[in-house]
Every structure is written in C-alpha cells, then in structure tokens.
Amino acid sequence: MPDLAIAIGHIGFFALLGGAYALRSMLAGRVRHVRTESDGGSLFLHKSTMEMVYWILDPIISFIAALRITPNMVTLFSLVPAAGAGVAIGFGWFGLASVLAVIATFCDIIDGLLARKLGTASGAGEVIDAAVDRYGEMFLFGGLVYYYRGHDQVLFIVLGALVGSFLVSYATAKAEAMGVAAPRGAMRRAERAAYIIAGSAFTPVFATVFSTSPSLALKELPIILALSIIAVVSNLSVIQRLMAIVEAVRAKESASANPVAPFEPDAPIVSERDTPVGQL
C-alpha cells in the first residue's frame, strides 16, 4: 500500500503540472527553449512534454546556481537516486522507483543546462556526464533483471531493451568517433527514461486493481509494455542508425580517396618560336 500511495501521488503531481503548463500555454503561450527548438521532440517524446520539463526546471537551475553548486556535483549526485531506483525496482517497489528515477533524470538534464548558464561547459564535463548516464541506466536495468530473474519471458524483454538502449548510445558515440554526423533516431535516453518512469508509476495501480488475477502480464502491464516498446523501437533505431553511419563513413572515405583536383586555368600554348633556343 505505501508504494501504491507513492505511485498515485507521483501520477497526481505530474497531472497537476501538466494542467498548470497547459493553462500557462493558453494564457501566455508555450515556453520556448533552445534545447526543445533544436531537438524538435519525437514520436515517443512530444515537444510540449519537453517544454513543460524545462519550464519546471528553470527556477530550480537558478536556485542551484545561486548556491554555487557545480554541474559535476549535480552529475555525480544523480547516481544516488539512480541507484536507489534500481534497488527499489529490484524489490518490486515500482512507485518509489519512478520517483527516484525522475530525480535522477532531472539531475541529468539540470547539469547540462547549469553548465551553460554558468559558462562552464567543457569536454571533460561531457565525458563525466556520459559515463554517469551509462551507470544510471545500468542501475535501472539491473534492478529489472533482478526482479524478473524468475520470469523468462519478461526477462528476455528486459534484456532486449537493455541491449537496444546501450547500442543506441554506442551508435551515437561511434559516429562521433568516426568523424561523421550522429544520425537522429528514436528511443534516445530521455525517451527511454520517460517510458520506464511512466511504466513504473502505473504498475502499482494495475497490480492493485488486478491483484486477484494470476496473470503477471496483466498485473504489471505498464512496465512490461514500456519495456517491450523500448526493446522493439530501440533495436530498430540501432539498425537505422548503424546503416546511416556506414553510408556516411563510406562517403567520407570515398571523398578522401578521390579528392577533387583544384581548378587551374588552362596553361598558355607555347610555340617553338616563343621558346628560347637553349630549351629546345
């Protein structure tokens, strides 16, 4: 019951925030942000949802900046709620896990925005952030693997989602390492986090409503459905990304092997009459 109360409170909180942002959008227009304008959202994570998140976080970022907290502090702190979310999922406390996962995800967003606000963005910070992101995501999937260790069918879905998630990130990193533009695609980290958070938040509700059902798939439908979508879409996205990277690398190598000769004007025609005798 405590986990159900946490889940209902979590769902209600975001429902209120969504209503507040919708009202704000009607009265004063949508909140534009550089990140949302450049990203554009996707089929699985709507642009308006991203705008709402940035609207929520903007005053928090200003408050953190006033406290002289550095972006790296925020990045490293995100490991705490991420690890807590993994442990909570491992014990089946999906409501608590959803709240902790939101905190970890917000920290992941805040560190980058805070670095830009303070003018301290750097390559070293990006390396730390990328490593922490991988650990944070592994904590969540590790908890899911542990929880579903006795359910082969669902465990297979979890592993499929895990592989697809990490290969999406790998494809982007590989493109950057090869010096080609990283292709856009579905199921980036923010989308995966949104699905796992939503699935975790609604799972205690379904588990209570269908508590008498012998079907695990029915009682835990939200998280299983979320993981299934991540597993299918992320792996399809990986294939699309890798094909695009291969084509880009081939084009780059072809251009390097066959450089275009610089334009040179035609040389003047020299007749024997014009040529010095000593050069004949």
- What is the DSSP secondary-structure string of the chain? -HHHHHHHHHHHHHHHHHHHHHHHHHHH-----HHHHHH---SSS-HHHHHHHHHHHHHHHHHHHHTT--HHHHHHHTHHHHHHHHHHHHTT-HHHHHHHHHHHHHHHHHHHHHHHHHT---HHHHHHHHHHHHHHHHHHHHHHHHHTTT-HHHHHHHHHHHHHHHHHHHHHHHHHHTTSPPPP-S--HHHHHHHHHHHHHHHHHHHHHTTT-S-HHHHTHHHHHHHHHHHHHHHHHHHHHHHHHHHHHHHHHHHHHSPPPPP-PPPPP--TTTS-GGG-
The pLDDT mean for the chain works out to 85
Confidence check: pLDDT of 278 > 50? no
pLDDT at 146: 96
Q: How far apart are CA 96 and CA 200, in angstroms?
A: 9
Question: Contact, 4 vs 200, CB < 8 A?
Answer: no
pLDDT at residue 275, as a whole number: 44
pLDDT of residue 277: 45
| pLDDT band, residue 30 (cuts 50/70/90) | confident
Give the Cα separation of 257 and 276 in Å (integer).
40
pLDDT of residue 39: 62
Q: pLDDT-derived band of residue 55, with 50, 70 and 90 as boundaries?
A: confident
In this predicted structure, the answer to whether residue 191 has a pLDDT above a threshold of 90 is no
State pLDDT tens for residues 237-272: 999 989 989 988 888 888 877 765 555 555 554 444
Instruction: Please compute the mean of the pLDDT values over residues 169-189 and round it to a whole number.
Output: 82
Of the ranges 27-36, 87-96, 165-174, 213-222, the best mean pLDDT one: 87-96
Beta-carbon contacts of 130 under 8 Å, excluding residues fewer than 6 positions away, are 173
C-alpha dihedral sign at 157, 159, 164, 169 = positive
**More confident site: 257 or 232:** 232
Q: What is the mean pLDDT of residues 1-19?
A: 90
Cα separation values, 178 from 122, 133, 172, 247, 248, Å: 21, 22, 10, 12, 9
The predicted pLDDT at position 34 comes to 65
Mean pLDDT of 207-235: 93
**First-to-last C-alpha distance (Å) of the chain:** 104
Distance CA(78)–CA(95), nearest Å, equals 18
The confidence band for 186, taking pLDDT boundaries of 50, 70 and 90, is confident
What is the rounded distance in angstroms from the CA atom of residue 207 to the CA atom of residue 4?
Answer: 9
pLDDT of residue 174: 85
- Has this prediction a pTM greater than 0.75? yes
Domains of the chain: 32-254 (1.20.120.1760)
What is residue 25's predicted lDDT score, i.e. its pLDDT?
83
Average pLDDT over residues 134-147: 94
Q: Which of 110-119, 177-186, 236-245 has the highest mean pLDDT?
A: 236-245
